[in-house]
Structure 1
Amino acid sequence: MTPSRRALLAALAALPMLGAARSSKGFVAVKNGRLSLDGRPYRFVGANLWYGAWLGASAAYGDRARLTRELDRLQALAVTNLRVLGAGERSPARAAVSPTFQERPGEYDTDLLKGLDVLLAEMAARNMKAVIYLNNFWDWSGGMPAYLRWVENGTWFQHGDADHPWPEYPDYAARFYGDAKANALFRRYVKSLVGRTNTVTGKPYRDDPTLMAWQLANEPRPGGSQIFGVFNMSIYQRWIANTSAFIKSLDPRHLVSTGSEGEMGCLNQERCVLDAHRPVSIDYVTAHIWPNNWSWIDAKNPAATYAAGEARCRDYVARHIAMARQLNKPLVIEEFGLARDARAFAPGSATADKDRFYQTIYDLTLADMKAGGPLAGTNFWAWNGEGRAQHPDAWFAPGDKAFVGDPPQEEQGLYGVFDSDASTLEVIRRHAAAVRAI
C-alpha cells in the first residue's frame, strides 16, 4: 500500500460515520400511523405562540427576558410543543404585523431571523418541539395576498374590506397557488429558511431535532365560494403536493404538514381534506376548531347556543379522527379557541365557557390517545402570557410590543390565555398531567 493511499484511508477513518452524523435521535417521526419520538409514542399538550421570534429579536420590539419568562411559564404547565410563525411579508393591511421577516421580495430581516434562532435555542433548553409555519392565508402577517401584490396579480385588498364582502377575500388569496411568480418568491424564502444555520447554537435547522415540522401555511384554503373553490381545487391540491415535496427535498428528516383547518377550510368537503393530506410528503393531518368564528356558538348569546355548538365540535373532532384513520396518519388539533365570557378582552374577566370548551377538546383528545388512536396532541390558541392590550379599545397599533396570542386582526385578549387566567391554566395543567400518565 502506498503512503498516499494509507494517508487517504486514515483520513477517511477519522471522519465521523455518516449514520452517526445523521442520527434520528430526538426527531419526531411517523410510525404505523402515529407520531413517534425515539421509539415511543409522541403525545403532547401544546400552544400557539406566533410572536416568539419577535420576542427573541435583538431589536426595539424584542424582549428576550420576557421570552424566557413565557417559556418558563409554559414549561411549568407541561406545554411541550409550540406552533410559531417563521415567515411574514410586508403588507399595507391596516391590521398587519410590522416589522416582519420579508420587508420586500428577497429582503430578509436579520433581527427577526436571529430572533427565531433564539426562540429555538431556548425551546431546546426546555425540551420543547416547534412547528414553524411558512406562509399565511390571512393578511395579518402579509401572507399569500402580499405575494400576489408583489407580482401584481389583481387588485390587492385587505381582509374585512367592506367593499369586498366575503367570500371575495378567500377567493382572492387562493389565487396564490396557481401564480408561478408568487411561488418563486415564496420558495426562495423557504429555501433560505430551511437551509439556515442557527446563529445561537451553530446547528443547521435541518439537523435540529427541536423542530418537529415545517408547515406550508396557516389555514390554506382552496377558496371561499363554491364556484371558485371547485375551479381552483386541483391547483390547490397540486400546490400542497409540490410544495411539501420541495420542502422534503431540502430537509428529508423533519415532518411536513399543511396547516389546514380541516373540512371548514376545505369547502366542507371530506374529499378535499383527504386529498390535501394524502401525499406521501404530508406526514400528518391537521384540524382547527373555531365555534365562534364558524357561528356554531354565538359569543353574544352562549346560553342559547353553547350546547348545540359543542355537539358540532364533538362531531368535527370525530370526523377528523376517522379521516386520519382512513389515511393511516396522525392527527393534531393545532388550533382551538373560544372567546372569553361576554366577549371580554381584559385579564380577570370570566372564562367559564372557554374553560368548558377547552375541557371538551381535551377530553376528546385524551380518550382517543388512551384508545391508541391517531390524535397525537393539541395546540390551544393562543398564549398571551404577560402580554396586555395597550389601548382602551384592545386593538393592536403599529409600534406595540406587548404581543399577545391574538394577532393584530383581532382584539388583543379575545381568544388568548393570560398568565393570570387561573381557571384556564388549571384545565391545561390537569390535561397535561393526564397525557403524561398514559
Structure 2
Amino acid sequence: MDSSVETRIGDSLRKMRFSMVTATLLLASLNTTVLAAPNKSKCSQKTAKGNQGVVVSENGQFCLDGKPFYFSGTNSYWINQIPNDVEAVFESLQQFGEKVLRIWGFGMVESTLAEPRNPDLAFYQMWINGSWYLNTGGNGLQRFDEVVRLAEKYDVKLIIPLTNNWEGYGSMDIYNKQITGNDTYHDVFYSDSRVVESYQRYVNFIVSRYKNSKAIFSWELANEPRCNGYPAINSGKCTAATLSQWVKDQSQYIKSIDPQHMVCVGDEGFYNRPGAADYEYNGGSGLDFDANLQISTIDFGTFHLYPQSWAKKDIAAWGTQYIKDHIASGKQNNKPIVMEEFGVEGYGNKTAIYPEWLQTALDGDIAGIMPWQWGQLGLTTGGVVQYGDSTVGGASPNDGYTIYPNQTEVWEMFKNVVKTQDAKCG
C-alpha cells in the first residue's frame, strides 16, 4: 500500500452503486455463509510427493500436499518491527483462521538518516557511502528468524516482498541514490547493472537463508513496482517492456536459488491497454499484468485495490469490475490470482462496499483474499515504529484501512471468508 503518492478523497462516497438495502443484504449473505463443496482437484499426487508442506501453483490452482489450497490471509508490514508480542499476533492469526501473512522482507536505513531512530527498530541493510552491510544481529535478521520460526509453529505461510517501490522501510530509490548518486529517475533500479547486482545480492542472502522453511508461501519481487516512484520519476525510457524484462530476469534468478517455492511480482495488477481512460489500465505505470502473468517463472498473479485513494468516482462499482478483470486474466492464463491488498477508509464505507467485493471474489473462485491490514489489540510495544507509524493504546498501527477485532461487522465478514475458503480446500 502506498499512501504518499495517491490523492485521498476522504470517507464520504460520491456515488453508491447499491442502495443501503442491497448492501445490507450482501452483508447478511456473507455473515450467514453457506459452505461450498470442495472444488474438483487439479493437483497431481506426483507434485505432492516432492513438495510436502509447500504450496505450489498447478493448473490454475494452488495445491498443498496434493489438495486444493484456498485461503483467507492478511498483511502486517509492522510485525517484524515490534520487539515483543510477535507470538501473540501469530496466536491471533491462527485462532482467526488466517493461512497466509504478507510481511516486509526488506528493511534498510542509511547512516545519514535524519529522523531519530527507535533503538528497537529492526533493519537488515545499513547503507554507508554507496554500499551496504547485512545486519544479522538482534535488531536485524534474528528478528526475522523469529517471525519465520513462529510462522512454522502456528502453520501460517508467508509472502515476502524483497524491496519496496515506495519510501517506507527500504526503497528502490535508496539503491539508486547510494549506488549511482542520483535518485531523480526511479526506473534506474530496473536497468542499471550495478543496482540490479546489489538487489540480487540482497535477494540471495534472504532467499538462501529461508529457502528450506515450509513457512514460505512465495517470494515477491517487490511491493508495488512501477516505472515511477515518489518523488523519483520515470526517466521516459521505462515502459511495460522494461518492467516485464526485469520481472522475467529476477524471477528466474530467485528460482535458480530456490526452485521449490513460488515467485510472484507483488504488483497492483495494472494493465497495459493503450487508449484506456484510467491510469490503472492504460500502461502509464509500466505494468502489463497479462504479459507478466505469462512469464513461466511467475507462479501466480497479485493485484491491489484502492479506488478510494485512486480518486475513482464510484468506488464500489470500479472495484468490482477490477476484481472481475483479474479473475478473467487468471482463467485466461491458467494461473491462480490473489487479491493481495485492498481497502477503503471509513467504517461505514467498509460495511457498505466490502460485501460486494468479497462476494465477487468468492463467486469468481479467487484463490486468496488478503485485506490491508491486520489489526492487533493488546500489544505491549509502545511508540513510533518508523515513518510515523505508531502503536497507540496497545493497538497496532492504524493507517485508516486497518481492521481490528472490535470492528464487529467487518471482523465477522472476514471470519466468514475464512470458512468459505476453507470449504473449497481438499
Give the TM-score range, shorter chain.
0.7 to 0.9
Q: How does 1:315-394 map to 2 (within 5 A)?
A: 315-340=321-346, 351-369=347-365, 375-386=366-377
Q: Which moved more, 1:320-329 or 1:397-406?
A: 397-406
Number of the residue aligned with 1:409: none
1:87 aligns with 2:102: no
Provide, for residues 317-363 of structure 1, a one-character-per-residue CA deviation record: whole Å limited to 9, x for no partner.
Answer: 111111112211110010001112xxxxxxxxxx1211333322321
Give 1:400 shift: 5.4
Number of the residue aligned with 2:156: 128
1:314 aligns with 2:288: no
1:274 aligns with 2:290: yes
- The structure where helix makes up a greater share of residues is 1
Q: Of the two structures, which has the highest relative contact order with CA contacts closer than 8 Å and spacing of 6 or more? A: 2
1:285 aligns with 2:311: no
Give 1:424 shift: 1.9
Give 1:385 shift: 0.8
Paired residue secondary structure (1:384): coil
Paired residue secondary structure (1:118): helix
Give 1:389 shift: 11
Distance in 2 separating the partners of 1:389 and 1:379 = 25
Number of the residue aligned with 1:69: 88
Paired residue secondary structure (1:86): coil
Following TM superposition, where does structure 1 have runs of at least 4 consecutive aligned residues deviating by more than 3 angstroms?
Answer: 91-99, 223-232, 264-267, 387-391, 394-406
Provide, for residues 103-142 of structure 1, a one-character-per-residue CA deviation record: whole Å limited to 9, x for no partner.
Answer: 1233122233111111111111221111011010001112
1:235 aligns with 2:238: no
1:147 aligns with 2:147: no
Paired residue secondary structure (1:238): helix
Distance in 2 separating the partners of 1:221 and 1:365 = 25
| 2:135 counterpart letter in structure 1 | D
Give the alignment's TM-score, normalised by structure 1: 0.74
Distance in 2 separating the partners of 1:151 and 1:315 = 41
Q: 1:214 aligns with which of 219, 222, 225?
A: 219
Number of the residue aligned with 1:245: 252
CA contact (8 A) 2:385 2:391 kept: no
Paired residue secondary structure (1:335): strand
Distance in 2 separating the partners of 1:252 and 1:72 = 30
Number of the residue aligned with 1:102: 125
Give 1:399 shift: 9.6
Q: Per the alignment, do residues 405 and 132 of structure 1 end up closer, same or farther by CA in structure 2, a change over 3 Å counting?
A: farther
Number of the residue aligned with 1:31: 58
CA contact (8 A) 1:217 1:259 kept: yes
Q: Which moved more, 1:136-145 or 1:211-220?
A: 136-145
CA contact (8 A) 1:262 1:286 kept: yes
Distance in 1 separating the partners of 2:116 and 2:271 = 24
Q: 2:402 aligns with which of 416, 420, 436?
A: 416
Give 1:377 shift: 0.6
CA contact (8 A) 1:106 1:189 kept: no
Q: Per the alignment, do residues 268 and 93 of structure 1 end up closer, same or farther by CA in structure 2, a change over 3 Å counting?
A: farther
Give the alignment's TM-score, normalised by structure 2: 0.76
Number of the residue aligned with 1:185: 198
Distance in 2 separating the partners of 1:103 and 1:250 = 24
Distance in 2 separating the partners of 1:82 and 1:154 = 34
Distance in 1 separating the partners of 2:269 and 2:390 = 33
RMSD: 3.1
Distance in 2 separating the partners of 1:257 and 1:272 = 14
Q: Per the alignment, do residues 286 and 47 of structure 1 end up closer, same or farther by CA in structure 2, a change over 3 Å counting?
A: same
Q: Per the alignment, do residues 48 and 316 of structure 1 end up closer, same or farther by CA in structure 2, a change over 3 Å counting?
A: same
Number of the residue aligned with 2:43: none
CA contact (8 A) 1:53 1:113 kept: no
Paired residue secondary structure (2:226): coil
Give 1:388 shift: 10
Provide, for residues 216-258 of structure 1, a one-character-per-residue CA deviation record: whole Å limited to 9, x for no partner.
Answer: 0000013379985674332211111000000000000000000
| 1:187 counterpart letter in structure 2 | Q
Q: Count matched residues.
A: 356
The structure whose Rg is larger is 1
Q: Per the alignment, do residues 99 and 73 of structure 1 end up closer, same or farther by CA in structure 2, a change over 3 Å counting?
A: closer
Paired residue secondary structure (1:26): coil
Number of the residue aligned with 2:417: 431
Number of the residue aligned with 1:59: none
Identity across aligned pairs (percent)?
Answer: 26
Distance in 2 separating the partners of 1:37 and 1:107 = 36
Q: Per the alignment, do residues 397 and 268 of structure 1 end up closer, same or farther by CA in structure 2, a change over 3 Å counting?
A: closer
Provide, for residues 74-124 of structure 1, a one-character-per-residue CA deviation record: whole Å limited to 9, x for no partner.
Answer: 222111100011112225487999542111233122233111111111111
